[in-house]
Structure 1
């Protein structure tokens, strides 16, 4: 980490690390005096770069006044922006998952635990399917596995697992489709055996 002006700014404000620590605690940031000392000397960098922004806020100075190295400043801002984007994506994902849950819930008889369980199972499988897809994108379709003194290329096992999860989703989809038809007045054939979906 490039050197910063934290100690200099604290000195100019006649503040100690202990006083800064208290201000940060009010913002739910847990650090100790030795960590702040290491940050100020440039010997250590906070894992969460947003701490620098919070430090600048509690000291009532611009972040650029503390982090004077432009590359270090840009790195901090890029990480904060990336974390914010991930959080927004996560929030959006939660909204989609909640919408799916609400849609499926509207199809079932909420007084029947077996039907509620299918909603929970479907949403759990859908989340697993999505996570496996993310892992496949991140690791690739082929992974390298150590084997003795050499390495072997193998198909990513997440692909087979995703196929298995997808088959379970398709099966549950059929059940929910029958519920949709039933709710729309298109009753499934009387006497139809639904046991295969339970």
Structure 2
């Protein structure tokens, strides 16, 4: 279940599910009012989580304004990035993320599912942290939000989300630091560094 504020965002913009359906159909996304109502109430999840990004786009809001719960937001973003098929030409960022994954993988016991899950969670959080940072750079620290007939300036919600993601990363860092500390230096051999200086 995705905790979301879709109904509130629609109400704030004086829009109905029918209006949203029409906006999505302009982007060639077929959806009906009852589906939107079920997604909004959290009674049903869309099979393709990318629909949340499309909804945010047509409503001209950040996804974080619709999915305000950090765990739901991270779950949606994680599923979108897992299902992404745009993996043909790797960008520099993707190569760095692969390096991070390999580095963390080398620290854990791969036969332990809980340790593998921590590696995947850390990489997912790191990618989300980057995306939020890009959003902050693109949108700015202060964003203008329509509120009825006027507009209101408020702090970019991505900043608060980035702080929360950072806190989760710091917590996981403690686990990996312990792993680094317990790992023998020089590939398991003796530490000869004091003799080679």
Give the TM-score category using the shorter length.
Answer: 0.3 to 0.5
When normalised by structure 2's length, the TM-score is: 0.48
Larger relative contact order (Cα-Cα within 8 Å, sequence gap ≥ 6)? 2
Larger radius of gyration: 1
